[in-house]
Amino acid sequence: MRQFPRFSVLAALLTAILLSLLTGCGGGASTKTPDVASIVITPTTISLNEGGVGTISAVARNSAGATIAADITFTSNNTSIATISSSGLVCGGVWDSAFVNCNATIGQGGVGQATITAQSGNATATATVYVHLQVDRVEVSTPNGCTTMGNQIQVTAVAFSTSAPGCSPTSPCDITSTVGPIAVNSNNLMVAANSSGIEPTFSADTNSPTYISGGTITGSKDQTCNLSNFTAGVSGGINPTYSSVTNSPTYTSGGTITGSAGQTCNLSDFNGVSGATATVTLTGTNIIAPGTPLIITAEGTGGITPPTTATLGNGTATCSGTATVITALNNSLGSGQSVIGAAATVALTGTNTIASGTHLTVTASGYGAMVPSTAATLSNGTATCSGTASVSTALTSSGVFTAENPGSTTIFGSVSGVNGVSVPYLTCPAAYILVHDASSSNTSFTLSKGGTQPLTADVFDTMGQYIRPSLTWASSSSAAASATTGTAGNNPGVLTALAPGTASITATCSPPDCNPSFPGASPQYAVTAQYSLNVVTATVSGGTTTNVYAASTNSTSLVPISTSTNTAGTAITLPYLPNSILSDPQGANLYLGSSSGLMIVNLTSNTVTTFTSVGKVVAISSNSNYLLLSDSTGNAVYYLSLGSTPTLLYVGGGFTTSSASYTPDSGYLDWVSGTDLAFGLQTGPFSTVTLPFNANALGTSAEGGLIYVTGSSPNEIDVRSTCNSSEVQALPANAPTLIQSIPNGTGAVATDSPGVDVISTPVPVSAGCPITTQSTMNFIDLGAGSYNARQMFFSSDSSHAWIISDIPGLLYLYLPTSNGGVIPYAGGVTAYSGGVTLDGSQIYVGASDGTVHRIQLSSVADVQQIAVNLKDANGNPVVPDLVTVQPH
């Protein structure tokens, strides 16, 4: 006999009594039971050790699906195995009369199943109780290799008893067949989760599942339309990537064609796919050769099987009729996407009418969804129906264990209160990302301010399957153009033009929501971020007006200069002497480091706030959310999260750095310190690898997959793969110091007196990890003699690299022709720091004569020296050695 703790029983009884008062659960009430159409019982299965106790609850609903108060009684069909109290307490054995002691039958005599029936009037619902030997261990086995996202994970779960009579830890008893369903769970629901299908039970409380609107309907009252392809966004369009392996998408035959070689026919109305369009090229006079690739201009949605026909229409040729085609569908499975295998019907409420709110009859719940579906495809039932319907649905409470976003995690089994030991699991990682126009292969755009451009990313996993993971879209210049996730299409992105200038756009599958690894993962499961193979370039036309900010390491004044007037404005008082200055990429805030604390200047209100972390500002992420400080006094680096209030994320002791770089998605941070290359998530902690030299500086390629590192002793430039920091190649150099990646993704430039090293990296770079693409390097003498570089920056259109050094002129490299030179500063001064306006029209530098020099790039000349009147604490003039241009 097992005694269930009295306090727990009393608490459970009190809970059940309160539930009875609210919902009518339990039996024996004297009030008249209202008409009950259905009962919902929870849970529908329960697993108990012999003598174990669980709880079952039930609610009654009327014919409209609303919850009502009603008397509900519980009975067991096998009282020698399980009994139940009137309040829903289930005993894995026999309750005593007070429902306090659960008397178990120990051994095989107590093992079995019982069906619990909840009844109110003529309405019933059942649950199955599995009573079994004590569960002591649960083991799961995962499939070999990986599972492509959206597919069911084939997991085997086994339950053992080691404490029951005849069982031991060295000779466990397999009791899997007696315990009922074993739940499989994941330690990262972004990678693997019990995803669900559509809840088939109508509820007026949730108004689901119901038809809302949409589709074409022809029929009479009480006829039905079928629904399928329930989606939470996009689904089942044509895969636009031509493959000679699958021979898709291609034209096979059919239609009437009049035209010449090189002209095109349009295709539309692909059977089974809504909204898909394409073009196909004539290969001769009135000829389209079988196997000619289709160029998909709109992928469409709604396909369950690949289309085999499409309608030919005029393009530049004269075309008509039905073409036979070979296509493949894109993969629409995974988190937030289609419900796999769901089906339903909906009844017409009048002639050619389905009233909004009409109940769907779910004939197959399906699985695979993490969010409720909002759309479904209408097709013929007893009525004639077509098109896409808007629907309101809810998900089932239990789901199928499904591969979600790419990455690795650990999974475990659970039954009867026992969680098994976690084992490694892998959803096939994203290995290939190529970004382009949503309707063509274009990767370069010119937009007016406010204009938008839809983008897409072709993403394939390590099994060569097209997938739709959670991507991070990013812009190299978020002040010029933003990149955000789109709402329609395959892996959609949206480019929005904000201000004149040029930006490089990337898409990345990176942790924590895409390609993550679990802590301590072995090499087989150590997944890394995957960066796009290329960049999309967005040029926003026009000119702009912005502000330049001048400060000094010996002054507490910050002086703004408007580029419209080119005169100094009212100085902003700083609380500390600054040692560094950087604007965030969005142009919203200015960050100044100091030995007393970080200073943040809001560039809209000109107000100054401070944060306790000290040091020099080394780098800011492209999304303006993260910052790295280096403290030479405390010998530490500080990882900060920005926002309305900065937060210290991590402290790396024993290191300082003067060069750091974030990946384009802002998810990863690299920096150098001596012979160490540090790398890791920007939230810390970091890992290090030893470099073959003393590092001077580094830069991350515009697409994100490569790191360029300069070093001395020996003098060389290392090209390394971002994903694991492994060396791709070593490029011998003279004496490289500073290095920056070219914004358009074509490589990098390193300062190497008396010239520069131009590294050219083919685009697109190779897929996977590590990168295997080989770069070339060309040394270009700038013709100005020896120099010591202080700062290097690029024009946003990637045409020029500019170098501030210790010589009396601004060094430059014109990349299209590889020509270099120098623009002399007026008065023969030298400069310390500066920047270029977003539209590439002017450069401002702080100079040794105490002024800010304005370089007019249209005339390639130093045209103005702007007095900023910076002074130290004693009133002595000081030079503006900290100058930056607000991106705007």
> 371: domain range?
210-233+334-397
Q: Which of 490, 505, 540 is the last residue of a domain?
A: 540
Dihedrals φ, ψ of 45, to 5°? Answer: -135, 145
Among 203-212, 785-794, 797-806, which is the least confidently predicted range?
Answer: 203-212
- Give residues with Cβ within 8 angstroms of 21, minimum separation 6: none
227 and 340 both lie in a single domain: yes
Q: What is the pLDDT of residue 831?
A: 98
Q: What SS3 state is found at 40?
A: strand
| 245 has pLDDT over 70 | no
Cα separations in angstroms, 331 against 341, 461, 515, 521, 530: 14, 11, 17, 28, 19
With beta carbons less than 8 A apart as the criterion, state whether 208 and 371 touch.
no
E strands, 734-799, are 739-741, 747-752, 755-760, 776-781, 789-794
CA pair distance 308, 351, nearest whole angstrom = 33
- The answer to whether 750 and 733 have CB atoms below 8 angstroms apart is yes
Within a domain: 886: no
For residue 436, what are its two tokens?
């382009």
Query: Is 777:770 a contact under the CB 8 Å cutoff?
Result: no
The string of pLDDT tens digits covering residues 47-63 is 999 999 999 999 998 88
Residue 651 within a domain: no
β-strand pairing of 501-509 with 776-781: unpaired
Residue 261 domain-assigned?
yes
Going by pLDDT thresholds of 50, 70 and 90, the confidence category of residue 485 is: confident
- As a whole number of angstroms, the distance between CA 718 and CA 695 comes to 10
**pLDDT score of 248:** 76
Q: How confident is the model at residue 330 (pLDDT cuts 50, 70, 90)?
A: low
156 with 301, same domain: the answer is no
Residue 650 lies in a domain: no
In this structure, the answer to whether residues 14 and 123 fall within a common structural domain is yes
Average pLDDT over residues 451-463: 94
Whether 263 is covered by a domain: the verdict is yes
> 229 with 260, same domain?
no
For the cut 50, the answer to whether the pLDDT of residue 444 exceeds it is yes
User: Are 221 and 363 within one domain?
Assistant: yes
Q: Does residue 516 sit in helix, strand or coil?
A: coil
Position 21 scores a pLDDT of: 35
Q: Is 272 or 104 the better-scoring residue by pLDDT?
A: 104
pLDDT tens-digit series, residues 112-150: 999 999 999 999 999 999 999 999 999 999 888 999 988
H/E stretch holding 7 reads helix 6-23
- Same domain for 376 and 463, yes or no, is no
Instruction: From 659, 632, 777, 642, select the one nearest 718 (Cα to Cα).
Output: 777
Q: What percent of the chain has pLDDT over 70?
A: 93
Whole-model pTM above 0.75? yes
Among 356, 380, 397, residue at a domain's last position: 397
Same domain? 498 vs 363 = no
In a domain, 276, yes or no: yes
446 and 503: one domain? Answer: yes
Q: Examine the domain organization and report whether 350 and 228 are in the same domain.
A: yes
The verdict on residue 736 lying in a domain is no
Cα 669 from Cα 722, distance rounded (Å): 10
Q: Cα 32 to the chain's mean position, in Å?
A: 55
Question: Is 801's pLDDT higher than 90?
Answer: yes
Q: 346 CB contacts (<8 Å, ≥6 apart)?
A: 211, 224, 225, 227, 354, 358, 359, 360, 361, 389
10 pLDDT exceeds 50? no
pLDDT of 518 above 80: yes
Q: Tell me what the pLDDT averaged over the chain comes to.
A: 90
**What's the CA gap between 592 and 573, in Å, rounded?**
12
CATH number at residue 469: 2.60.40.1080
According to the model, what pLDDT value does residue 64 have? 76
Asked if 345 contacts 360 with a C-beta cutoff of 8 angstroms, the reply is yes
φ, ψ of residue 455 in degrees (nearest 5): -125, 165
How confident is the model over 183-242, as pLDDT tens digits? 999 999 889 988 888 888 877 777 889 999 999 999 999 999 999 888 775 445 787 766
Do 347 and 266 lie in one domain? The reply is: no
pLDDT interval class at 468 (50, 70, 90): confident
**Average pLDDT for 728-747:** 97
Taking only the tens place, the pLDDT of each residue in 24-50 is 333 333 345 568 998 989 899 999 999
State how far the alpha carbon of 403 is from the alpha carbons of 152, 195, 228, 408, in Å: 6, 9, 22, 10
Residue 274 has pLDDT above 90, yes or no: no
Q: Other C-beta atoms within 10 Å of 64: how many?
A: 11
**Of 732, 837, 847, 731, which is closest to residue 793 (Cα–Cα)?**
837
User: Mean pLDDT, to the nearest integer, of 717-743?
Assistant: 96
Two structure tokens written together for 825: 């500063």
Q: Which two tokens stand for residue 512?
A: 């924590």
The pLDDT of 574-580, averaged and rounded, is: 98
Q: Is 252 helix (H, G, I), strand (E, B) or coil?
A: strand
- Judged by DSSP in three states, 881 sits in coil
pLDDT value of position 189: 84
**Average pLDDT, integer, range 831-851:** 97
Cα angle at 527 between 524 and 533, to 5 degrees? 125
Residue 621 lies in a domain: no
Q: 179 and 79 in one domain? A: no
Backbone angles phi, psi at 106, to 5 degrees: -80, 140
pLDDT score at 259: 95
Ramachandran angles phi, psi of 176, nearest 5°: -55, -40
The answer to whether the beta carbons of residues 759 and 784 sit under 8 Å apart is no
Looking at 132, 160, 175, which one is the last position of a domain?
132
Residues 223 and 271 placed together within one structural domain of the fold: no
Number of structural domains found in the chain: 5
pLDDT at 143: 83
Q: What is the pLDDT of residues 654-685, one digit of tens each?
A: 999 999 999 999 999 999 999 999 999 887 78
